[in-house]
Structure 1
Amino acid sequence: MGAGKSTLGRHLSQILDYPFYDSDKVIEEKTGADIPWIFDMEGEAGFRRREHEVIEELSALSGIVLATGGGVVVTPENRRLLHDRGCVVYLWTPVEVQLARTRNDRNRPLLQTADPQAKLEALFAERDPLYREVAHHVVSTASGNLKKVADDVLACLGSHRQG
Protein backbone atom coordinates (compact mmCIF):
# COMPACT_ATOMS: atom_id res chain seq x y z
CA MET A 1 0.00 0.00 0.00
CA GLY A 2 1.19 3.45 -0.86
CA ALA A 3 3.99 2.22 -3.12
CA GLY A 4 2.66 4.16 -6.10
CA LYS A 5 1.50 1.19 -8.18
CA SER A 6 -1.47 2.95 -9.77
CA THR A 7 0.26 6.28 -10.35
CA LEU A 8 3.35 4.63 -11.81
CA GLY A 9 1.27 2.14 -13.80
CA ARG A 10 -0.71 4.91 -15.51
CA HIS A 11 2.52 6.78 -16.26
CA LEU A 12 4.24 3.71 -17.72
CA SER A 13 1.20 2.84 -19.83
CA GLN A 14 1.46 6.27 -21.49
CA ILE A 15 5.19 5.89 -22.12
CA LEU A 16 4.83 2.35 -23.48
CA ASP A 17 1.51 3.02 -25.24
CA TYR A 18 0.02 -0.04 -23.52
CA PRO A 19 -3.41 -0.22 -21.93
CA PHE A 20 -3.39 0.19 -18.14
CA TYR A 21 -5.36 -1.99 -15.74
CA ASP A 22 -5.67 -1.61 -11.99
CA SER A 23 -6.94 -4.94 -10.67
CA ASP A 24 -8.82 -3.28 -7.78
CA LYS A 25 -10.62 -0.95 -10.21
CA VAL A 26 -11.53 -3.91 -12.43
CA ILE A 27 -13.00 -5.71 -9.41
CA GLU A 28 -15.03 -2.60 -8.56
CA GLU A 29 -16.27 -2.30 -12.16
CA LYS A 30 -17.26 -5.99 -12.30
CA THR A 31 -19.08 -5.95 -8.95
CA GLY A 32 -20.47 -2.43 -9.01
CA ALA A 33 -19.17 -2.04 -5.45
CA ASP A 34 -16.08 -0.46 -3.92
CA ILE A 35 -13.37 -2.48 -2.18
CA PRO A 36 -14.33 -1.46 1.40
CA TRP A 37 -17.93 -2.60 0.75
CA ILE A 38 -16.71 -5.96 -0.62
CA PHE A 39 -14.54 -6.41 2.49
CA ASP A 40 -17.51 -5.53 4.73
CA MET A 41 -19.93 -7.88 2.97
CA GLU A 42 -17.67 -10.79 1.98
CA GLY A 43 -14.63 -10.44 4.21
CA GLU A 44 -11.07 -10.62 3.01
CA ALA A 45 -11.55 -14.21 1.78
CA GLY A 46 -14.41 -13.15 -0.50
CA PHE A 47 -12.38 -10.26 -1.83
CA ARG A 48 -9.37 -12.54 -2.48
CA ARG A 49 -11.57 -14.94 -4.50
CA ARG A 50 -12.73 -12.05 -6.69
CA GLU A 51 -9.18 -10.76 -6.96
CA HIS A 52 -7.91 -14.15 -8.13
CA GLU A 53 -10.52 -14.29 -10.92
CA VAL A 54 -9.45 -10.86 -12.15
CA ILE A 55 -5.72 -11.71 -11.95
CA GLU A 56 -6.31 -14.89 -13.94
CA GLU A 57 -8.12 -12.87 -16.61
CA LEU A 58 -5.75 -9.87 -16.78
CA SER A 59 -2.50 -11.84 -16.57
CA ALA A 60 -3.53 -13.73 -19.72
CA LEU A 61 -3.37 -10.44 -21.70
CA SER A 62 -0.14 -9.31 -23.31
CA GLY A 63 1.10 -5.80 -23.96
CA ILE A 64 -0.50 -4.27 -20.86
CA VAL A 65 0.58 -2.53 -17.68
CA LEU A 66 -1.07 -4.06 -14.61
CA ALA A 67 -1.16 -2.58 -11.13
CA THR A 68 -2.37 -5.06 -8.54
CA GLY A 69 -3.67 -4.61 -5.04
CA GLY A 70 -0.97 -4.88 -2.38
CA GLY A 71 -2.29 -8.18 -1.05
CA VAL A 72 -2.39 -9.99 -4.38
CA VAL A 73 0.69 -12.00 -3.38
CA VAL A 74 -0.99 -13.74 -0.43
CA THR A 75 -2.65 -16.14 -2.89
CA PRO A 76 -0.06 -18.67 -4.17
CA GLU A 77 -1.81 -19.11 -7.52
CA ASN A 78 -1.71 -15.34 -8.10
CA ARG A 79 2.04 -15.36 -7.50
CA ARG A 80 2.48 -18.17 -10.03
CA LEU A 81 0.27 -16.53 -12.66
CA LEU A 82 1.93 -13.14 -12.37
CA HIS A 83 5.48 -14.51 -12.36
CA ASP A 84 4.91 -16.90 -15.26
CA ARG A 85 2.87 -14.56 -17.47
CA GLY A 86 4.61 -11.21 -17.15
CA CYS A 87 7.49 -9.14 -15.92
CA VAL A 88 6.81 -8.40 -12.26
CA VAL A 89 8.41 -5.36 -10.66
CA TYR A 90 8.14 -5.16 -6.87
CA LEU A 91 7.82 -1.50 -5.92
CA TRP A 92 9.60 -1.64 -2.57
CA THR A 93 8.59 1.12 -0.18
CA PRO A 94 9.59 1.53 3.49
CA VAL A 95 6.76 1.43 6.02
CA GLU A 96 7.32 5.06 7.07
CA VAL A 97 6.76 6.18 3.48
CA GLN A 98 3.71 3.93 3.09
CA LEU A 99 2.25 5.41 6.27
CA ALA A 100 2.78 8.98 5.09
CA ARG A 101 1.22 8.24 1.69
CA THR A 102 -1.84 6.42 3.06
CA ARG A 103 -2.46 8.42 6.23
CA ASN A 104 -5.70 10.09 5.04
CA ASP A 105 -6.96 7.39 2.66
CA ARG A 106 -10.24 5.86 3.87
CA ASN A 107 -10.45 3.47 0.91
CA ARG A 108 -7.99 0.98 2.43
CA PRO A 109 -9.93 -1.47 4.60
CA LEU A 110 -6.88 -3.09 6.16
CA LEU A 111 -5.70 0.28 7.52
CA GLN A 112 -8.95 1.19 9.29
CA THR A 113 -7.44 0.31 12.64
CA ALA A 114 -6.29 2.13 15.77
CA ASP A 115 -2.64 1.59 14.83
CA PRO A 116 -2.12 1.74 11.03
CA GLN A 117 1.68 1.76 11.44
CA ALA A 118 1.62 -1.56 13.30
CA LYS A 119 -0.69 -2.97 10.61
CA LEU A 120 1.63 -1.79 7.82
CA GLU A 121 4.63 -3.27 9.64
CA ALA A 122 2.85 -6.62 10.01
CA LEU A 123 1.78 -6.60 6.36
CA PHE A 124 5.32 -5.74 5.26
CA ALA A 125 6.78 -8.59 7.33
CA GLU A 126 4.26 -11.02 5.84
CA ARG A 127 4.32 -9.82 2.24
CA ASP A 128 7.89 -8.67 1.54
CA PRO A 129 9.19 -12.26 1.14
CA LEU A 130 6.21 -13.06 -1.12
CA TYR A 131 6.81 -9.98 -3.28
CA ARG A 132 10.45 -10.98 -3.61
CA GLU A 133 9.42 -14.53 -4.56
CA VAL A 134 7.19 -13.37 -7.42
CA ALA A 135 9.25 -10.38 -8.64
CA HIS A 136 11.65 -10.41 -11.54
CA HIS A 137 12.96 -7.01 -10.39
CA VAL A 138 12.82 -4.85 -7.24
CA VAL A 139 12.67 -1.05 -7.53
CA SER A 140 12.52 1.39 -4.62
CA THR A 141 9.81 4.06 -4.74
CA ALA A 142 10.99 5.72 -1.52
CA SER A 143 12.25 8.82 -3.34
CA GLY A 144 8.77 9.67 -4.58
CA ASN A 145 10.35 10.81 -7.87
CA LEU A 146 8.00 9.44 -10.54
CA LYS A 147 10.41 10.01 -13.43
CA LYS A 148 13.31 8.26 -11.65
CA VAL A 149 11.17 5.30 -10.60
CA ALA A 150 9.69 5.02 -14.13
CA ASP A 151 13.19 5.08 -15.64
CA ASP A 152 14.29 2.34 -13.21
CA VAL A 153 11.28 0.20 -14.13
CA LEU A 154 11.81 0.76 -17.86
CA ALA A 155 15.43 -0.38 -17.45
CA CYS A 156 14.18 -3.53 -15.73
CA LEU A 157 11.71 -4.19 -18.54
CA GLY A 158 14.48 -3.74 -21.11
CA SER A 159 16.74 -6.23 -19.35
CA HIS A 160 13.83 -8.64 -18.88
CA ARG A 161 13.08 -8.66 -22.62
CA GLN A 162 16.73 -9.35 -23.42
CA GLY A 163 17.03 -12.09 -20.79
Structure 2
Amino acid sequence: MAEKRNIFLIGPMGAGKSTIGRQLAQELHLEFYDSDAEIERRTGADIAWVFDVEGEAGFRVREEKVIFDLTEKQGIVLATGGGSIISKETRNRLSARGFVVYLETTIEKQVARTARDKRRPLLQNGNPEEILTDLAENRNPLYEEVADLIVKTDNQSAKVVAREIIDRLGF
Protein backbone atom coordinates (compact mmCIF):
# COMPACT_ATOMS: atom_id res chain seq x y z
CA MET A 1 0.00 0.00 0.00
CA ALA A 2 2.98 2.30 0.37
CA GLU A 3 2.91 3.32 -3.31
CA LYS A 4 -0.35 5.25 -2.81
CA ARG A 5 0.29 8.55 -1.09
CA ASN A 6 -3.10 10.20 -1.30
CA ILE A 7 -6.19 9.74 0.85
CA PHE A 8 -9.55 10.31 -0.81
CA LEU A 9 -12.63 10.58 1.39
CA ILE A 10 -15.96 9.51 -0.06
CA GLY A 11 -19.39 9.18 1.48
CA PRO A 12 -22.74 10.91 1.72
CA MET A 13 -23.31 14.52 2.66
CA GLY A 14 -23.07 14.95 6.40
CA ALA A 15 -20.61 12.06 6.87
CA GLY A 16 -17.85 14.46 7.93
CA LYS A 17 -15.60 14.31 4.87
CA SER A 18 -14.43 17.93 5.05
CA THR A 19 -14.02 18.06 8.82
CA ILE A 20 -12.27 14.69 9.05
CA GLY A 21 -10.22 15.49 5.94
CA ARG A 22 -8.83 18.67 7.50
CA GLN A 23 -7.96 16.73 10.66
CA LEU A 24 -6.24 13.96 8.66
CA ALA A 25 -4.26 16.43 6.57
CA GLN A 26 -3.14 18.29 9.68
CA GLU A 27 -2.02 15.13 11.48
CA LEU A 28 -0.24 13.71 8.42
CA HIS A 29 1.22 17.05 7.27
CA LEU A 30 -0.48 16.75 3.90
CA GLU A 31 -2.33 19.32 1.80
CA PHE A 32 -6.12 19.29 2.16
CA TYR A 33 -8.54 19.84 -0.70
CA ASP A 34 -12.32 19.81 -0.84
CA SER A 35 -13.72 19.22 -4.33
CA ASP A 36 -16.79 21.41 -3.68
CA ALA A 37 -14.64 24.28 -2.40
CA GLU A 38 -12.39 23.91 -5.45
CA ILE A 39 -15.42 24.09 -7.78
CA GLU A 40 -16.54 27.25 -5.99
CA ARG A 41 -13.03 28.73 -6.25
CA ARG A 42 -12.82 27.99 -9.98
CA THR A 43 -16.30 29.22 -10.87
CA GLY A 44 -16.40 32.16 -8.46
CA ALA A 45 -19.86 31.00 -7.41
CA ASP A 46 -21.31 28.73 -4.77
CA ILE A 47 -22.46 25.17 -5.46
CA ALA A 48 -26.15 26.11 -5.23
CA TRP A 49 -25.70 28.70 -7.98
CA VAL A 50 -23.88 26.19 -10.23
CA PHE A 51 -26.77 23.74 -9.69
CA ASP A 52 -29.34 26.46 -10.48
CA VAL A 53 -27.63 27.59 -13.66
CA GLU A 54 -26.16 24.34 -15.02
CA GLY A 55 -28.31 21.71 -13.34
CA GLU A 56 -26.94 18.64 -11.65
CA ALA A 57 -25.52 17.30 -14.93
CA GLY A 58 -23.48 20.48 -15.50
CA PHE A 59 -22.27 20.40 -11.92
CA ARG A 60 -21.18 16.75 -12.26
CA VAL A 61 -19.10 17.61 -15.35
CA ARG A 62 -17.30 20.31 -13.37
CA GLU A 63 -16.88 17.95 -10.41
CA GLU A 64 -15.35 15.21 -12.56
CA LYS A 65 -12.82 17.70 -14.02
CA VAL A 66 -11.87 19.06 -10.60
CA ILE A 67 -11.37 15.58 -9.16
CA PHE A 68 -9.34 14.60 -12.24
CA ASP A 69 -7.05 17.60 -11.65
CA LEU A 70 -6.74 17.17 -7.88
CA THR A 71 -5.97 13.46 -8.08
CA GLU A 72 -2.95 14.33 -10.25
CA LYS A 73 -1.33 15.74 -7.10
CA GLN A 74 0.70 13.68 -4.64
CA GLY A 75 0.51 13.78 -0.86
CA ILE A 76 -3.00 15.16 -0.46
CA VAL A 77 -6.18 14.47 1.44
CA LEU A 78 -9.25 15.09 -0.73
CA ALA A 79 -12.83 15.37 0.52
CA THR A 80 -15.09 14.60 -2.44
CA GLY A 81 -18.70 15.59 -2.96
CA GLY A 82 -21.25 12.96 -1.97
CA GLY A 83 -22.34 12.38 -5.57
CA SER A 84 -18.89 12.34 -7.15
CA ILE A 85 -18.84 8.54 -7.18
CA ILE A 86 -21.75 8.47 -9.65
CA SER A 87 -19.10 8.87 -12.36
CA LYS A 88 -17.37 5.59 -13.22
CA GLU A 89 -14.38 7.59 -14.43
CA THR A 90 -14.13 9.36 -11.08
CA ARG A 91 -14.43 6.06 -9.19
CA ASN A 92 -11.65 4.56 -11.32
CA ARG A 93 -9.44 7.62 -10.89
CA LEU A 94 -9.85 7.70 -7.11
CA SER A 95 -9.13 3.99 -6.90
CA ALA A 96 -6.01 4.22 -9.03
CA ARG A 97 -4.48 7.27 -7.39
CA GLY A 98 -4.85 6.83 -3.65
CA PHE A 99 -6.48 5.17 -0.68
CA VAL A 100 -10.23 5.55 -0.83
CA VAL A 101 -11.90 5.82 2.56
CA TYR A 102 -15.69 5.56 2.74
CA LEU A 103 -17.00 7.53 5.69
CA GLU A 104 -20.21 5.74 6.55
CA THR A 105 -23.04 7.33 8.51
CA THR A 106 -26.73 6.79 9.17
CA ILE A 107 -29.57 8.69 7.53
CA GLU A 108 -30.51 10.03 10.99
CA LYS A 109 -27.05 11.53 11.47
CA GLN A 110 -27.10 12.98 7.98
CA VAL A 111 -30.45 14.66 8.63
CA ALA A 112 -29.18 16.09 11.92
CA ARG A 113 -25.87 17.28 10.45
CA THR A 114 -27.39 18.91 7.35
CA ALA A 115 -30.60 20.30 8.88
CA ARG A 116 -29.58 23.96 8.89
CA ASP A 117 -27.27 23.86 5.87
CA LYS A 118 -28.83 25.79 2.99
CA ARG A 119 -25.84 25.09 0.72
CA ARG A 120 -26.99 21.57 -0.21
CA PRO A 121 -29.05 21.89 -3.41
CA LEU A 122 -30.30 18.30 -3.42
CA LEU A 123 -31.96 18.80 -0.02
CA GLN A 124 -33.77 22.04 -0.78
CA ASN A 125 -36.90 20.61 -2.37
CA GLY A 126 -38.66 17.90 -0.44
CA ASN A 127 -38.32 15.77 2.66
CA PRO A 128 -34.59 15.53 3.53
CA GLU A 129 -34.94 12.09 5.10
CA GLU A 130 -36.64 10.68 1.98
CA ILE A 131 -34.10 12.33 -0.33
CA LEU A 132 -31.15 11.04 1.71
CA THR A 133 -32.65 7.55 1.82
CA ASP A 134 -33.06 7.52 -1.97
CA LEU A 135 -29.52 8.79 -2.46
CA ALA A 136 -28.17 6.13 -0.07
CA GLU A 137 -29.91 3.34 -1.96
CA ASN A 138 -28.24 4.45 -5.19
CA ARG A 139 -24.86 5.55 -3.91
CA ASN A 140 -23.95 3.25 -0.99
CA PRO A 141 -23.13 0.32 -3.31
CA LEU A 142 -20.83 2.63 -5.31
CA TYR A 143 -19.07 3.84 -2.15
CA GLU A 144 -18.56 0.23 -1.09
CA GLU A 145 -17.32 -0.78 -4.56
CA VAL A 146 -14.49 1.75 -4.60
CA ALA A 147 -13.55 1.87 -0.89
CA ASP A 148 -10.23 0.52 0.37
CA LEU A 149 -11.45 1.17 3.89
CA ILE A 150 -14.87 1.80 5.47
CA VAL A 151 -15.06 3.82 8.69
CA LYS A 152 -18.22 4.63 10.64
CA THR A 153 -18.42 8.28 11.70
CA ASP A 154 -21.67 8.42 13.67
CA ASN A 155 -20.57 8.57 17.29
CA GLN A 156 -16.94 9.63 17.06
CA SER A 157 -15.15 12.96 16.87
CA ALA A 158 -13.24 13.96 13.76
CA LYS A 159 -9.99 13.48 15.65
CA VAL A 160 -10.89 9.90 16.65
CA VAL A 161 -11.98 9.01 13.11
CA ALA A 162 -8.79 10.54 11.66
CA ARG A 163 -6.67 8.53 14.10
CA GLU A 164 -8.54 5.33 13.15
CA ILE A 165 -7.90 5.99 9.45
CA ILE A 166 -4.21 6.66 10.06
CA ASP A 167 -3.85 3.52 12.16
CA ARG A 168 -5.75 1.27 9.76
CA LEU A 169 -3.90 2.56 6.68
CA GLY A 170 -0.54 2.31 8.44
CA PHE A 171 0.53 5.90 7.83
1:1-163 equivalences in 2 (<5 Å): 1-158=13-170
Moved more, 147-156 or 49-58: 147-156
Contact in 1 for aligned 2:20/2:159 (Cα 8 Å):
no
Q: Following the alignment from structure 2 to structure 1, what is the Cα–Cα distance between the partners of residues 126 and 59?
A: 22
Structure 1 distance, partners of 2:18, 2:159, is 14
In terms of fraction of residues, the more helix-rich structure is: 1
Q: Quote how far apart the aligned CAs of 1:151 are.
A: 1.4
* Structure-1 separation of matches of 2:116 and 2:46: 17
TM-score, normalized by length of structure 2? Answer: 0.91
Contact kept in structure 1, 2:30 and 2:75, CA below 8 Å: yes
Q: Which 5+ residue runs of structure 2 have no aligned equivalent?
A: 1-12
RMSD: 0.9
Q: Is the CA contact (8 Å cut-off) linking 2:105 and 2:153 kept in structure 1?
A: yes
Cα offset for 1:113? Answer: 1.9
CA apart distance, 1:155: 1.8
The equivalent residue for 2:4 is none
Q: Name stretches of at least 5 consecutive residues in structure 1 with no aligned partner.
A: none
Task: Give the TM-score of the pair, scaled to structure 1.
Answer: 0.95
Farther-moved stretch of structure 1 (74-83 vs 148-157):
148-157
The CA distance in 1 between the partners of 2:156 and 2:16, in whole Å, is 8
Structure 1's consecutive aligned runs of 4 or more residues displaced over 4 angstroms after TM superposition are none
- Relative contact order, CA 8 A, sep 6+: which one is greater? 2
SS in 1 for 2:139: helix
Amino acid paired to 1:30 = R
Instruction: Tell me the matched-pair count.
Output: 159
